[in-house]
Structure 1
Amino acid sequence: MADAVTADGRGGGRRRDGTRRRTIPAKVQSETNTTDGPGSKRKRSDTTGAVSGDVGTPVAEDAPAPGSIDGEGGSMPKPASKRKTSAKRKPATQKEDSNDAETDSGKGPTPRKVDAWPEWFRDLEKTHRALNLVYTICCTRKHLLTTFATIKTAVESNTGRPLLESDVAAVAALLSLHFNSGSSSADAAGTIRFAYVDELSLQVDIQGAERDTTFKTGATSRTRNNLKAQGPAADASVGGITGREAMKVRPDGGVYDEQGTQGQPLHKEVLYFEFIDEGLKREVANPKTGEPTKSTRMLRDEQLRMPVYGQKQMTALIEKRNRRFAAAVNAFLDRCEGLEGDREATDPVECLKSEAEAFIPVPSPEEGLVDARPSRNNGDTDCDDNSNNGIPPTIPAERKTIPEIVDELKNSPWYSGQVVPDGHRVFEEQEPVYGDLGFLLSQDTVNALYNAKGITQFYVHQAEAINALHAGRHVVVSTSTSSGKSLIFQLPVVHALEEDPFTRAMYIFPTKALAQDQKRSLRDLLAYMPNLCDVLAETFDGDTPWKERDRIREEARVLFTNPDMLHAAILPQESRWRSFLQRLRYVVVDELHYYNGLMGSHMAFIMRRLRRVCATLGNRSVRFISCSATVANPREHFETIFGVMDWERDPEQTSPVQLVDFDGSPSGRKEFLCWNTPFRVPGDPASGRGSALYECARLFCELILRGVRVIAFCRVREQCEKLVGAVQQELERRGRHECLSRVMGYRGGYTAHDRRRIEADMFAGRLVGIVATTALELGVDIGSLDCVMTWGFPYSIANLRQQSGRAGRRRGRDSLSILVGDSFATDQYYMQNPDMLFDQPHGSLQVDLANMLVREGHVQCAAYEMPIRPADDEQYFGPGLAALCAERLVRDEMDCFHCHDHFRPQPWKLVAIRDTEDDHFAIVDIGHNPPIVLEELEASRATFTIYDGAIFLHQGTTYLVREFSPDQGLARVERVRVDWTTQQRDFTDIDPIETQAIRRIGEGGPAARDSPDAARAYLGKIRISQTVFGYFKVDRRERILDAVQVDNPPVVRYSRGAWVDVPASGLAVLERRRLHMAAAIHAAEHAVLSLLPNFVISLPGDVRTECKSGLKEFQNRPVTQRKRPARLTFYDAKGGAGGTGITAKAFDFVDLLLQQALTRIESCACGLYNAGDALAAARGCLECIASPNCHEANLVMSKAGAVVVLRSLLGLPIDEYALPMGPEEGIPAGPETVVLATPVPGVHAVPAVKMEPLEMQSPPNYSTQ
């Protein structure tokens, strides 16, 4: 049977319809194939780009043979070198092969030699060797696409027999069984991709075709030496549709078919072949010898020279694949012969042929499928591992339990130990604890609670909070997510409306989505109350039509709004809102933990302005209700935001605020998984981690197809769109097209109509999967969710816990949370230390009421609303109000103070409470008739997202930017089918332009600080210049396919900041020790930023610095034109040109900041000169120099260099001989990009701030604020 093959060349076994194939002897088969038999001499194919000709002698056991690849009988390419290279190489020994095989397959019996294999497997091994050789050579030639038609002739010449699709399918099946444990669903490392793909997505520009008119910047033809003057070619150079000419678009917008007639869009699929592994590492030609040499950089060369590949590297890769194949064959034979477990012996040839059936590709049945490979058959064979692994054919109405689903995931063929050690935690179910109200509810309220919400009892925390409100106290509730907090601020309002129908209530939410959600919930309750069903409860936000605003102002009893509208539309027009504010009884501020740091400072003053206006109108009975996530200081934070502690201090009680923090709500069983993205090659850390994007997409699909309702959180919008697209591709590849419409993205930028539609679909349960940014991190009720997946560590543990709480909001239903680790240092830190995620205490919230910029802005707004009397209003705006008014406001004859003319006529416009922008760009899809607006994009994002030739993502769909018109405020895009995206290439220069204050710094005492050589810190005006100079075209595996230059003007904005210049002595030490200067400065900046909250109340992101880009620092050039000063620069990220005052306040403690940063680095547990882990020693960890907010992924970091920088700034001695000699691990040598900083001039005489001795300085104490 081993020698028998079928008449169609596919071997024995069953057809796709399940019937048995007729087998015939191999001899008859060879006679049948008269055209391409073993002895036939094939003619060279005339197809352009085909691999043809006689490749040469068969490949030996231990080394690839030279062969032809170009159709002209040439030999295997040699390195571009003038020197002779030895052809001798030590052959791989059997012992080496055995070790490698054992490494791949694990422990087991001694591997067989090839001679001991069945003949059919020996033939298959020759086919694999030929495929390996031809494919590897093709990879060195960019213009050769490895389609089946391209490589077929060369492989046949090498093996001496026809190459059939079934042969390649057998190889693919065998490798998939070994490396992917039988799953063909994922392109696991070590396997083969053999599938039909869109031909347009594989087109490669190597001829320098003329540019598409869409991208033209001039008439010059495009060459590799002319990339700066030109952009992408019409045929994309990387595959896919990138121009109207490539799409063959008719003048009326239609599309011509291949014959030029009007028809469907041009679409042709080709059979594509590739190895899924680490591939050839790019090398560069030595400029002196021409010899291929390893690149010392980590990123693609800016000059984009054609890469070269060394023969040694090619040979090693070919041998490695051959050894993997041998290991796969041996493992397969062992399984089929019953050597593993208690399996009964089975015919390996028949078994593999049966397995290969599922790997024979078929063309896509419908347009748009990139990978049409069918799912594996669920055949019940001894060697078959069911790839569905419990996935039902349709999404079930009732899913299995979470433990069962987790077990299925861990037993899936593609699972390779992604759950890290100690990264699987289980939190058991909690029973409810009930309480009683201290007063009676009306029968209408009782009925409404039961009919609308099914409530018959109150949890103990609900009862405690409602009783406190009924007693006239303020209430802050700090319990877990989904604990029924909404009822606490609904029931008192309903009860008050029953007693007095003229009562008013105001609900303040940080987002529009939350307001819409709570309005719907309250309306549902009021609808069951006959006396209140006509009560108007309405939203008042930026989306409210102007014609509706007067009616809402006059008739609404319950108002749903946000801090922005209260600040800019309600308080400034208090005369129009006077009736509402006089009768205001309850103010509800949900998600109190959101108001932290700078936003908390603004919110605190807005609440004080509201209290002041209400009190002036005679209303001093307003009660405040807040709900918060679990934090360390909920009562203190509440008192700081509302100022009620000083306002109504009762001598008989400690505070008018009732804290409710005992959670009586039930919770289902929850499991938490720390899921790390596996290595590209299993068990080989040197191969690097695979794509977290596709790990998330696969896991997402595995869950939703099992009936698990999933929400996936992403850090930024771009990640959100990419994940939506990847999930859709994965569902299409699995043939689950019915699920595509049930997965949606949700993020900022969508139109109001789209947001409302998506929210309605989420709440109604029509969606099974949601991919969102932090827009859904807060408590929007989107129905019952079973699983929260977080792609990458979300900046803080508080964010992670908040996101995790979005699942399991229903009693008696278990849930799952998954943190998927990316390759970044922050993610891997928590993957290695999962205890940190669970054991760290809750953080404290801080609000800085002493920020003079924030305080003055709101005092000006308050004076505009009503004149200020310092003696009366000091209770709202703090001590020192009289001095502030006398200096900054306008006094009248009654000793009242009014808003200064500088802030008029609309002072609220000069006090931005958060980074909202008035200027937006519309993204218009011109493919529709008429065109439609897809979304709106903030002006600050436009430069980095929409540019001619960019790929714009919307709901996972790719759109090509045809035209960007900044003057018109729109970008015209068109939907295209491409298998790549664009990634902007940009840099940001942060430069001080005006000095306003100077401090001398140093630890050597007053004499040292007064020395001319002493370092100085500066405060002044900062210019932030952001430039997009091009973009990469990146395929779905994050491989750079092409680079395009664009000529965009920089986007410039201004802020206020501080900076310190590194002394020349410190730079000299770095130069002598060959430590990377930019990496040293970058690491020191991170260390200082991480300590900023110890001195100034701030949040991550409030103050920023210039993060160094590996793309620029590690480029393979002897010199660079972009030189940066040796300077540590920090600036306020918010507040416009005047900043927020955070950096100015930190400027007062610059010595302590630098000293503590140095101490933290030198004492960090990750080790300063860790010989065991040189990369960790260079890049540090989250405890010292790595930052989760670094936009450049912490690539350019030198821990030892940071010590030199900080010691030189503080005037401390530096032990040069204790420093490592560079270049450091992971920091390849590159051009010097840092030069000595020059002083920044001031517009007038700059005062030198008096500096206290370091020992007399002390950081502020925020523990009581």
Structure 2
Amino acid sequence: MTALHPVRPAPPPGTDAGSEGRARPTGVLPGAELLDDLLAATPEEEHPVTHVHRMPVRESSTLPWPAWVAADLRARLEEQGVTAPYRHQVEAAQLAHDGTSVVVATGTASGKSLAYQLPALSRLAEDDRACVLYLAPTKALARDQLASVAALAGPSVRPAAYDGDTAMEERDWVRRHSRWIVTNPDMLHRGILPAHQKWSSTLRRVAYVVVDECHAYRGVFGSHVGHVLRRLRRICRRYGAEPVFVLASATVSDPAGAAGRLVGAPVVAVTEDGSPRPGATFALWEPPLTERLGEHGAPLRRSAAHDAASLLADLVEREARTLAFVRSRRSAESVADQARRVLVERGRADLAARVDSYRGGYLPEERRELERALSSGELLGVATTNALELGIDIAGLDAVVLAGYPGTLASLWQQAGRAGRAQRESLVVFVARDDPLDHYLAHHPRAVFGRPVEATVTDPSNPYVLGPQLCCAAAELPLVPADLAEFGGPAAEARIEELVAEGLLRRRPTGWYWAGRGRPDVDIRGDGHAPVAIIEGATGRLLGTVDGGAAHSTVHTGALYVHRGETFVVDEYDVEEAIAVVHPESPEWTTVARDVTDLSVVDVDRSRRLRTVTAHTGVVDVVNQVVAYQRRRQGTGEVLAEFPLDLPARQLRTRAVWVTLDERAVARAEVDDATLPGALHAAEHAAIGILPLLATCDRWDLGGLSTALHPDTGVATIFVYDGHPGGAGFAERGFAALRRWLQATRATIASCECESGCPSCVQSPKCGNGNDPLDKAGAVRVLDVVLDELAAADERTGPARDDDLLDDGADDDPVVEAATVAPPAADVREDDLVF
């Protein structure tokens, strides 16, 4: 692999004068100069940077220590360098101390931990029986916070972890003796609440429940977690406790509302960040088109992984401590390996040894060692998935590279905020993937820097979430009518009757009882598929795991699997046993799964009838089956061979948004029978790629289907659906913001410099049809017709409002009830994205 450009020798160790002549503690340049240095030898015509944003310095705002903070706790904090708390820390801590549930929603590295440590540790010091339950979405974050609390807590607190990595012989000790229990929603759901009788002495003493990085709980997973927290509150009340909830979040829209929906109780938000922030340089970077051709002759850009690996190597050579965030486990392995090879080629094998990867699926001991090496500075560069987005507190990072949009602005700022913790100007580089959304963001900086972060999308009334959670609650304690208001009111009342009819619950005069054997088996991660273990056939060694939902496309027989720089080929995938057996091999090809999808409309909730176009949202059934896989040459993507697979089909009932075009609309778009399927297919791909601008989701959370004649609508139709059972709220968000969603989709396709379609506009990496057929020009004309009709409707009635379209009540938009629509059509949602 070659570097982006020749590298100047790094400055010698020791102090270094910055741009203003200030003495610097190391040879690392500040962010702006570091970017200039990286680009110094890049020819102007190959310049990849599309925009540079300067993030200003923010001065700190502090308040005196609250009078109720114990002297010994204050002394320990001052020993750690905390001489005066920031304003947001004091405001949130005071609310929690006074008994008010609070969410502190401020930036990365703003010291949110102190906002809950102050009131919680003070309460533990005052009451030697009180305890705290701390929940984290990742094990890395949990272990880091455990160490932080242990350094501050008195000897009677005995903080301890209770998660999947806790040895069985230690779990009883934690339950009996720890007063600060660090766990996660999964363990709370599976290990603590079902065994609440054993935990009764702890649960009756819970004073605070800390929910860290609560913005991570979104979609189906977030909806499940919301019910888990309601079950926790219900059981705590059963034992006489009313804990105060303290939540910490990245900056999100409406944090009080989101946190309140999560815990099922009112929450007050503290949002004004009082922490200092060093300046930062944030560059948008789009790799150029190359002469290489991909599928159907489409030009390919230099890959984001290539540029991220080169940047990682360049930054490590300059001794800049760097995290490179990537989108997949395989990419984490690949980027780290490429960066190491670059450094070895430059004669810097010593630095290559200080580069590694970090991702989910590693064994616990591997994770611990990587976290230790990263925290200590042994590792200079790490390619990571979002497993470190919410992970350990890493001091002194100089740079962050984002290889692709992480799905939400909240995640983007969380990842970017990993740099600059040493109070020096940092560098953040967003490297756009060959993808419609990334291409759009690279050329529309206001969509990154001029837009508020998203609201957290959850749907606790999702029947695929609500039903199983009501079963869990009934298995823990019989449900009574008063409980149903907390679990969803009318939706819970309707669902509980269905559960009785299905024989899952039994109604008695004293309430509803769980009627099944054992405990309900509910996967709160949302896909319902067990993780698949990856086993090396020759040795029996467990290499790691992959998510069950992704297993059919990633560890099918013949698939290429990468683990910490080593490549393996899958010899056998046992679906029933959830095991993939592999052998080591380093082929010159990679693998891509092919699938087929059928979709049928079950129910139409609402429609927006225009003239020749109609938009709908409702319930659909999706049947998907992985039927084959291709071997493709690494680097070029050339298809070498295709092999059939015999895997079972998977059915998904979910929610969708769809748009239908009658014959008049198709005629206006000037697409004939031969080109219509490709035009619809291209528009579908681009729309899926752009929807994450509006909803807190990733394109991998979505699916789609387009057809020139759908049997349920009778006309040309484009569907986009949530890739989660019961839906996750993404389709509704698209319906509510249809016009701006499709405006951004149209702009992405039209502005791409390719001639006939490429991965930056209309090709999709997850297309089961191999991106065939696609018609870029036809997609623009189809979208023009839809947008013309939406604009005309807005002129007649005024622009659609998000609040109205998301409401069940009537509004002054041309939205009609599903019962008046014939025939029941497929999905398209009204967009309302603000840039």
Normalised TM-score (structure 2): 0.81
Give the alignment partner of residue 957 of structure 1, picking from 555, 566, 587: 566
Counting only pairs closer than 5 Å after superposition, residues 1144-1183 of structure 1 correspond to structure 2 as: 1153=735, 1157=738, 1161=742, 1166=747
Matched to 2:358, the amino acid is Y
1:1081 corresponds to 2:680: yes
Once the two structures are TM-superposed, the CA of residue 484 in structure 1 deviates from its matched residue by 0.9
Matched to 1:1053, the amino acid is R
Counterpart for residue 243 of structure 1: none
Counterpart for residue 991 of structure 1: 598
Counterpart for residue 864 of structure 1: 475
CA distance in 2 between partners of 1:842 and 1:868 (Å): 38
Q: Identity percentage over the alignment?
A: 30
Q: Deviations over 1:286-315 (max 9, x none)?
A: xxxxxxxxxxxxxxxxxxxxxxxxxxxxxx
1:569 corresponds to 2:159: no
1:1250 corresponds to 2:828: no
Counterpart for residue 832 of structure 1: 443
Give the alignment partner of residue 144 of structure 2, picking from 510, 517, 520: 517
Counterpart for residue 711 of structure 2: none
Contact 2:599 2:705 in 1 (8 A): no
User: What residue ranges of structure 2 are gaps of 5+ in the alignment?
Assistant: 16-24, 293-297, 709-714, 791-816
Q: Deviations over 1:829-865 (max 9, x none)?
A: 2222223321112222243344344333322322222
Contact 2:623 2:652 in 1 (8 A): yes
User: Would the alpha carbon gap of residues 664 and 1002 (structure 1) be closer, same or farther in structure 2, given more than 3 Å must change?
Assistant: closer
Q: Deviations over 1:1075-1119 (max 9, x none)?
A: 633322324545876898999x8744586334689xxx9xxxxxx
CA distance in 1 between partners of 2:617 and 2:456 (Å): 30
Counterpart for residue 843 of structure 1: 454
Give the alignment partner of residue 894 of structure 1, picking from 509, 512, 515: 509
Report SS of the residue matched to 2:310. helix
Counterpart for residue 244 of structure 2: 623
1:1030 corresponds to 2:630: yes
User: Would the alpha carbon gap of residues 1198 and 1066 (structure 1) be closer, same or farther in structure 2, given more than 3 Å must change?
Assistant: farther
Give the alignment partner of residue 632 of structure 1, picking from 239, 243, 253: 253
User: Would the alpha carbon gap of residues 394 and 1033 (structure 1) be closer, same or farther in structure 2, given more than 3 Å must change?
Assistant: farther
Once the two structures are TM-superposed, the CA of residue 407 in structure 1 deviates from its matched residue by 3.1
Give the alignment partner of residue 61 of structure 2, picking from 433, 456, 459: 433
CA distance in 1 between partners of 2:786 and 2:97 (Å): 63
Counterpart for residue 806 of structure 2: none
Counting only pairs closer than 5 Å after superposition, residues 74-113 of structure 1 correspond to structure 2 as: none
User: Would the alpha carbon gap of residues 1260 and 570 (structure 1) be closer, same or farther in structure 2, given more than 3 Å must change?
Assistant: farther
Matched to 2:280, the amino acid is K
Counting only pairs closer than 5 Å after superposition, residues 35-54 of structure 1 correspond to structure 2 as: none
Once the two structures are TM-superposed, the CA of residue 508 in structure 1 deviates from its matched residue by 0.7
Counterpart for residue 676 of structure 1: 286
Counterpart for residue 122 of structure 1: none
Report SS of the residue matched to 1:553. helix
1:588 corresponds to 2:210: yes
User: Would the alpha carbon gap of residues 967 and 1094 (structure 1) be closer, same or farther in structure 2, given more than 3 Å must change?
Assistant: closer
Report SS of the residue matched to 1:1043. strand
Report SS of the residue matched to 1:842. coil
CA distance in 2 between partners of 1:882 and 1:793 (Å): 40
Once the two structures are TM-superposed, the CA of residue 436 in structure 1 deviates from its matched residue by 1.1
CA distance in 1 between partners of 2:463 and 2:417 (Å): 37
Once the two structures are TM-superposed, the CA of residue 477 in structure 1 deviates from its matched residue by 0.7
Report SS of the residue matched to 2:193. helix
Report SS of the residue matched to 1:437. coil
Counterpart for residue 1134 of structure 1: 724
Counterpart for residue 802 of structure 2: none
Q: Deviations over 1:83-111 (max 9, x none)?
A: xxxxxxxxxxxxxxxxxxxxxxxxxxxxx
Q: Deviations over 1:535-560 (max 9, x none)?
A: 32222222223333222222221111
Counting only pairs closer than 5 Å after superposition, residues 7-26 of structure 1 correspond to structure 2 as: none
Counterpart for residue 652 of structure 2: 1055
Counterpart for residue 662 of structure 1: 272
Give the alignment partner of residue 70 of structure 2, picking from 435, 439, 442: 442
CA distance in 2 between partners of 1:559 and 1:1159 (Å): 46
Report SS of the residue matched to 1:763. helix
Give the alignment partner of residue 541 of structure 1, picking from 155, 163, 178: 163
User: Would the alpha carbon gap of residues 670 and 1195 (structure 1) be closer, same or farther in structure 2, given more than 3 Å must change?
Assistant: farther
User: Would the alpha carbon gap of residues 858 and 937 (structure 1) be closer, same or farther in structure 2, given more than 3 Å must change?
Assistant: closer
User: Would the alpha carbon gap of residues 676 and 841 (structure 1) be closer, same or farther in structure 2, given more than 3 Å must change?
Assistant: same
Q: Identify which of structures 1 and 2 has the higher relative contact order when contacts are C-alpha pairs closer than 8 Å and 6+ apart.
A: 2
CA distance in 2 between partners of 1:801 and 1:1163 (Å): 22
CA distance in 2 between partners of 1:756 and 1:668 (Å): 30
Contact 2:479 2:511 in 1 (8 A): yes
CA distance in 2 between partners of 1:936 and 1:793 (Å): 25
Contact 2:631 2:640 in 1 (8 A): yes
Q: Pick which of 465-474 and 1074-1083 moved more.
A: 1074-1083
Contact 2:281 2:428 in 1 (8 A): yes
Contact 1:598 1:1098 in 2 (8 A): no
Q: Deviations over 1:591-620 (max 9, x none)?
A: 121123333322222222211211222223
Counterpart for residue 426 of structure 2: 815
CA distance in 2 between partners of 1:850 and 1:1173 (Å): 40
Counterpart for residue 799 of structure 1: 411
1:1105 corresponds to 2:726: no
Counterpart for residue 179 of structure 1: none
Q: Deviations over 1:1157-1216 (max 9, x none)?
A: 589758987499x7x98968978998xx8999979789935464576599799999xxxx
Counterpart for residue 94 of structure 1: none
CA distance in 2 between partners of 1:1174 and 1:428 (Å): 33
Counterpart for residue 609 of structure 1: 231
Contact 1:1081 1:1202 in 2 (8 A): no
Contact 2:746 2:783 in 1 (8 A): no
User: Would the alpha carbon gap of residues 1038 and 1020 (structure 1) be closer, same or farther in structure 2, given more than 3 Å must change?
Assistant: closer
CA distance in 2 between partners of 1:1194 and 1:1208 (Å): 23
Q: Pick which of 868-877 and 825-834 moved more.
A: 868-877
Contact 1:459 1:665 in 2 (8 A): yes
Counterpart for residue 874 of structure 1: 485
Report SS of the residue matched to 1:1046. strand
1:722 corresponds to 2:351: no
The structure whose residues are more often strand, as a share, is 2
Give the alignment partner of residue 35 of structure 2, picking from 406, 416, 420: 406
| Aligned-residue CA RMSD (Å) | 4.6
Contact 2:106 2:273 in 1 (8 A): yes
Once the two structures are TM-superposed, the CA of residue 785 in structure 1 deviates from its matched residue by 1.2
CA distance in 2 between partners of 1:1091 and 1:681 (Å): 26
Once the two structures are TM-superposed, the CA of residue 807 in structure 1 deviates from its matched residue by 0.7
Contact 1:474 1:623 in 2 (8 A): yes
User: Would the alpha carbon gap of residues 604 and 449 (structure 1) be closer, same or farther in structure 2, given more than 3 Å must change?
Assistant: same
Contact 2:703 2:722 in 1 (8 A): no
User: Would the alpha carbon gap of residues 788 and 705 (structure 1) be closer, same or farther in structure 2, given more than 3 Å must change?
Assistant: same
1:735 corresponds to 2:347: yes
Equivalent residues, number: 777
CA distance in 2 between partners of 1:828 and 1:568 (Å): 42
User: Would the alpha carbon gap of residues 799 and 1193 (structure 1) be closer, same or farther in structure 2, given more than 3 Å must change?
Assistant: farther
Q: Deviations over 1:769-822 (max 9, x none)?
A: 010111111253133211000112333333222210111123x32211011233
CA distance in 1 between partners of 2:704 and 2:146 (Å): 43
Counting only pairs closer than 5 Å after superposition, residues 336-485 of structure 1 correspond to structure 2 as: 387-391=6-10, 398-402=26-30, 403-412=32-41, 418-421=47-50, 423-451=51-79, 453-485=80-112
Counterpart for residue 465 of structure 2: 854
